[in-house]
Each structure stands twice: as structure tokens, then as C-alpha cells.
Amino acid sequence: MVTKLRVLLQIAWRNLFASWLNVIIGLVILGGTFLVVVGGSALDSLDRSMSRSIIGSVSGDLQVYAASSKDKLSLFGQMGGGDADLTPIPSFARVKEVLMKVPNVRAVVPMGAANAIITSGNTVDVMLARLRDAQKRMQAGDASAKAEVDSLKAHVHHIVQVLKEDRKNADKLVDESAKDPRAEEAIERVSKDEFWAEFDQDPFGSLEYLENRIAPLLSDGQMAFLRYFGTDLDAFAQAFDRLQIVDGQMVPQGHRGMLLPKFFYEESFKLKHARRLDLIKEEIEENHATIAKNADLQRMVRENMTQPREILFQLDPLKTKEAAARLQKSLKTNETDLEKLLVQLFDTNDQNFQEHYRIFYSDLAPLLELYRLRIGDSIPIRTYSRSGYAHSANVKVWGTFNFKGLEKSPLAGVAAPMDLITFRELYGYMSPERRTELERIKQAAGAQDISREDAEAALFGGSGEDAAGTEGATTAIDEAALFDSGGAARAEETTFTQADIDNGIFINAAVMLKDPGALSQTIQDIQAASDANGLGLKVATWQEAAGIIGQFVQYLRYALYVIAIIIFLVAMLILSNAVLMATLQRVREIGTMRAIGAQRGFVRMMIAIETLALGTAFGGTGLALGAGLVALVGHSGIPAVSRQLYFFFGGPRWFPEVSVTNMVIAYGIVLVVSILSTLYPAMIATRVSPVVAMASDE
């Protein structure tokens, strides 16, 4: 038997490169094997990188939500926009108690996500808000506030003068009919010294006029869309240890507030000129781009040059003079007009960019408010329920954050964590503070609860005793008494306890595991615990919870498998036909072998071993080349050339690793294809009789 096998192997080796058909077939097998090894290893590595990003930033190892929900959980929102329709779960305490008894569960963190609109006023809005606050402090006896009031008044006056000059230049380009007489009247009135002389007599009336008539004339206000999620912030920080505070601080325990993603904060609230300079610098230093050859960088340079007004509006007369003097010195020019100096500063190219970038941040930035929203400020957040009802709240921004390794990823910075109490209020849940406030207003207004049956009589009069005397009765409403908040803390300043967090609704929860490798068993254990305790939960993996983003790699894997199957099917057909042709060419040889005693089994085995040798040689070469390429690329890594890739790569570089599983699968497919390809040719070869074969010319 050993001798027979040795002879067959020698024949197989001799015939390996005997025909050009064998070489072509071998190259097809090599290409398919190479694709499976490289593609499979790349997708496995990408899957691991994405899992680190999603698990470490928002999803945890698992997510649980109400099984009665209309839609599936989608942490990043649905494809068509908006949020999934999920049923709120009444009490987090009960769910946490049950899930923490599952052996492999390390932590359970309550959550709930929604989309919101954030509006930030324009430069005049910001200045007027500060002026109003300083005026209130001055009237309350704060002596230091007077200097701030005078400075802000002068600044607003200066902005109006700049605005007046702008509109005068714009009027030259439009006809008389297109002018707004009310706007012209308002600007003319506010630009006069008499308006500001009367300001002290009626400061809040003057502020109201400025807010209603002047501020709307500026178009640099901004509306931003933010995805936020309510959570137990302390538990979230402990469970997701990649969370890093960049500016400010973590929201103190028991306090209301939120953290903004650093990426979102920079994009939405930073002075546009500064943000564009940062982006240009990043492209030049990290991606080795040049302004001369990059259309996007050229566009940002043009926008900085043609939009200096936002900077001019920020500077009062003293700062305008100081800025002009600093830029004159740094740019080495005799120009005195600040607007022209700004154009010179932002006129950058590959030779002067670094120097002009330094001048901006060293000379000009200290005179500006680089961020429209400062850390510690409260921002108004407005969200809408499915019925279209609006909910809003002022939420204090305590700081900004990044997830380690994902600092430049828009997807990782897509959601802002908020305290769960505020989230519930925005969701429409009535908090104890709101109930108390509503009861106080009802009592002060003399409101009464009326049953449905008595509503018509109470509203339109009736014959009952209770309705007598109500018609035509009027009562003056004291708005100050109803809405005076002087005796109560503002909602964003109230505190809460851990019991308040636990004993209230939540939408979904992240589950962190002690051993992520036991994922399947843990899912079964959680589902069993939920069913046994009547919690009505549904368990989702991180891929399912992340929606289409989480399943992106799986879709790519399906595509790879389809391509590989097609390649190997084609290879099998080609291989089978080629082996058949080679077999028919060797009919005389096979007949001679049969005539001297070779059995049909020997012939079948000879053809099978020859084909296996072909698949083994070229398939093995494909395995070696694929594994070598993956190892070579994995050693140095592939840089994330776009911000989106940071999330998929799990950081600034992606390091693919060779997957042994994919090598085994690829090699197994090669062997199976090789064996299947020999069945028909071997059958044909053994059907030819030795006499006929030896009598053939071929």
C-alpha cells in the first residue's frame, strides 16, 4: 500500500506542471484561497475593532429592553431617522436586582436615547444675555457688575455700528423696494447716543427692544441636532472605562447635567474661523495634504477670508484697536483697518499657514470668545414626543469627553450622556419637582379638578348650584406670583439620590459581562431570569443593538462568502473540465496501465491524488501569500484616512490579524473542490476498456 501511494504521488508530482491547463486552474485556486484568507482575516479584525468601539462606548456586551416594544432597539437611531418605538420599563431597581444575580453579569447601566434640537443665539443674543444677567446683578447690589454692564453696552453699541455700515453697503446692491423699513428704523434708533443714554432708566425695556428688533438681523445663530441618552452617569463612567473627560469635569454625583462629546462641541460651538484652521492643520500634519492640491482646504481658506464679520462683532472698540495693533506687528504691515488685516491673516497657503495659525492663536484668540457655549453654561434642549408634543429643559454642561482611541470619530461622539432624571422629564415623565410646582400653580390660580361629566357645566354654565355665580366672573392673574422662582431652585440646580435613579422608568440597559466569551450562555441565563421573574425583557447583542452599523461587517462577510463561493464554483467547473480533458488525452496511457494490471480503483485514486496535489500546491501557496500579506500589514497597521474610519478601526490605526479559522476554512474548501472535481473524469476514465484505449491513436 505504501509503495502504491508513493508511486501515485510521484505521478501526481510529475503531472503537476505538465499542462498549461493545470497552471491556469492552480492560479484560480490560488486566487480564491488568497481572497478567503485575506478577506476573512480582515473582516474578523474589523469585527473585533468595531466591537471594541461599540461595546466600549455605548452598548456594553448586551442590551436589554422591553419585549413588548413595537420596534427593535437601535442605539444609533433608525435608518429613516428618528427613534425606535420602545416601551418604557417602569422600575430599574427591579431589573437590576434580577440581572445582577446572573453569574456572568458584572454591571447593569440604565439608558434611554432620544434626538434633540439645540439652538444657540447669534453674537448679539449672547451679548444681550450677558448684559441682562449683569444688569440683574447690579440691581441686586453687586457693585462689580457696573463695570461689566458698561463694557457690554459699549460692545453692543459697537456691533450695531458695524451692522449699520454693513447694511449701508448692502443697500447699494438691492433696490429700494427690497429694503425693510422696520429694520432700518430699529438700527437708526439704536445707533444713536440717545438710546443708550435712556438705557439706565429702563434697562430691561431697552434689552427687550434689542432682542426683538436687532438680534434677528444677524444670521450667525446656529441650530444643532444632538443625540443624547439618559443614564446613571456614575455607573456609566465605571462600566465604560474608555470615557475620558477633556474639558471641565464629570457631572457631580446627584446633580443634574450632561457631558458633550468633544467632537460635537468643537464642530457645533467653536468659532468657525478657529475650527476651520484646526481642520486645515490636521489635514496637513496627519494626512500630508496640501492647500494647493486639496479643494476642501482651499474652500475653508476662502470662507475664512470672506466671513470676517463674526470676529468683528465679538470685539468691542478697545479690543478692536488692540487686535489691529497686534496683527499689524505680527503680519509686518502698515494696514490699520481690522477687517483688511483679518483677510490678510486668513489668506493662507502651504508656505505661510503654520505661521498664520500661530498668530491667530497667540495674538487674536485671547481677545475672542472661541466657544459660543462655555463649559458650565446651561443649554436649552428641545425634543419631541411621537405625538408631536414638545418637551424642553435647560441642562448644564459640566464638561466634554472622548472615548479613548476614538477621539476623532463622529460616530463615537454622536451621543451625549445626561442624568437620567432630566432624561425622564424630557421623555415626558412627571418628576416630583414638577408635580410640586404644578400643584403650587394650581393652588395660586385657584384651579380645581373637574370630572368629565361636570366639565361642560363648569365651562359653559349650568343649572347646578356649583355653576351658579360663575358666569362672567373675572379674576386678575398675578403672573409674578405664579411663576416667581425666587423661592425655589431652578430645575437644573436640584439634586437627586440613587433611589431616585433606580425607582423610575428607563428605556433600555447596557449589560457588562465578566467573561464576554460566554455571551451565548449569558443571553440564555438573562432571558430565563426575565421570564421567571416576569420582567418581560428582550436581550440583544451589541451587533443587534447597534443596528445597521453593528451589522455592517456581517454584510461584508456575506458578500465575501458569495464572491468566494462563485470563485470556487467556477474553479470546480474549470478544474473538472480540465481534468476530464487531461484524462481523455491520457486514454492510451491509462489503457496501458489497465492492460498491465492496474485496477479501476488505482486509476481513480491516481486522478484524485493528482487533483489534490494541484489544489494542495496552489491552495497552500494562496494560504501562505494571504497570511503573509495580513501579517505584514498588521505589523505596521493601516491609518484611518477619514474620521468615519476611526470608529470602524477602533482607533487611529487598524491592525489586522491572521485568522487561523479562515485559513482552515479556505484550505478545506480547496480540498473539497479538488475531490469533487475528480468524480466525473475518474468515472469516464475507468469506463474505457484497455483494448479500446491501447488501440486509440491518442
User: Shortest CA distance to 125 belongs to which of 187, 220, 219, 215?
Assistant: 215
Cα(313)–Cα(316) distance, integer angstroms = 8
How far is Cα of residue 383 from the mean position of the Cα atoms in its chain? 19
Secondary structure class of 575 (helix, strand, coil):
helix
Residue 108 pLDDT: 95
pLDDT of residue 74: 82
| Model pLDDT, residue 491 | 58
Closest Cα to residue 339, out of 367, 373, 366, 304? 304
Q: Which of 63-72, 80-89, 207-216, 270-279 has the lowest mean pLDDT?
A: 80-89
Residue 281: per-residue pLDDT: 95
Cα separation of 263 and 409, whole Å? 8
Which pLDDT belongs to residue 488?
42
Measured torsion, CA atoms of residues 312, 316, 322, 325, in degrees rounded to the nearest 10:
40
pLDDT band at 555 (very low <50, low <70, confident <90, very high): confident
How far is it, in rounded angstroms, from Cα 151 to Cα 154? Answer: 5
Q: What percent of the chain has pLDDT over 90?
A: 28
Tell me the pLDDT band of 337, cut-offs 50, 70 and 90. Answer: very high
Task: State the Cα–Cα distance between residues 497 and 511, nearest whole angstrom.
Answer: 22
Task: Tell me what pLDDT residue 540 has.
Answer: 92
Full-model pTM: 0.71
Residue 149 is predicted with a pLDDT of 85
Provide the pLDDT confidence category of residue 470 given band limits of 50, 70 and 90. very low
pLDDT band at 620 (very low <50, low <70, confident <90, very high): confident
Q: Residue 233: its pLDDT value, please?
A: 94
Pick the residue with more confidence: 545 or 84?
A: 545
Average pLDDT of the chain to the nearest whole number: 79
- Strand order across the 62-66 sheet: 105-111, 508-513, 62-66, 537-541
Strand partners, 114: 228
Q: What is the mean pLDDT of residues 429-434?
A: 61
133-147, 375-389, 638-652, 682-696: segment of lowest average pLDDT: 682-696
- The model's confidence at residue 130, banded by pLDDT at 50, 70 and 90, is confident
Q: What angle do the packed helices 552-585 and 587-595 form, to 10 degrees?
A: 70
Return the C-alpha cell found at 676: 469533487
How many percent of the chain have pLDDT more than 70? 70
The residue that leads in pLDDT, 658 or 593, is 658
Lowest mean pLDDT among 359-368, 567-576, 608-617: 567-576
H-state helical runs in 402-518: 420-427, 432-445, 455-460, 479-483, 498-502
> What pLDDT is attached to residue 637?
81
The Cα–Cα gap between 565 and 201 comes to: 84
Tens of pLDDT along 22-37?
677 777 778 778 887 8
pLDDT of the residue at 359 = 96
In the block, cell 478692536 appears at 320
Query: Mean pLDDT, to the nearest integer, of 580-604?
Result: 62
pLDDT at site 313: 81
| Range with top average pLDDT, 301-305, 471-475, 625-629, 647-651 | 301-305
In whole angstroms, give the CA distance from residue 458 to residue 332.
79
Identify the pLDDT of residue 79: 47
CA separation for the pair 658, 629 (Å, rounded): 9
Tell which residue, 196, 164, 120, has the closest CA to residue 309. Answer: 164
More confident residue, 579 or 130: 130
Q: What's the pLDDT at 639?
A: 79
CA distance 577 to 610: 14
Average pLDDT in the 129-133 region? Answer: 84
H helices of 243-308, where? 262-269, 272-286, 295-306
- Please give the Cα distance from 60 to 513 (Å, whole number): 8
Q: How confident is the model at residue 665, as a pLDDT? A: 78
Regarding predicted confidence, which is higher, 639 or 231?
Answer: 231
* Cβ neighbours, 10 Å, residue 147: 11
What angle is formed at CA 340 by the lines to CA 334 and CA 343, rounded to 5 degrees? 120
Q: Nearest 5°: CA angle at 243, between 238 and 247?
A: 120
Which parts of 547-639 fold into alpha helices (H)? 552-585, 587-595, 600-636
Cα–Cα distance measured from residue 488 to residue 468, given in angstroms and rounded to the nearest whole number: 37
Nearest residue to 300 via CA among 275, 264, 282, 265: 275
Coil vs helix vs strand at 191: coil
Task: Show the cell assigned to 107.
Answer: 454591571
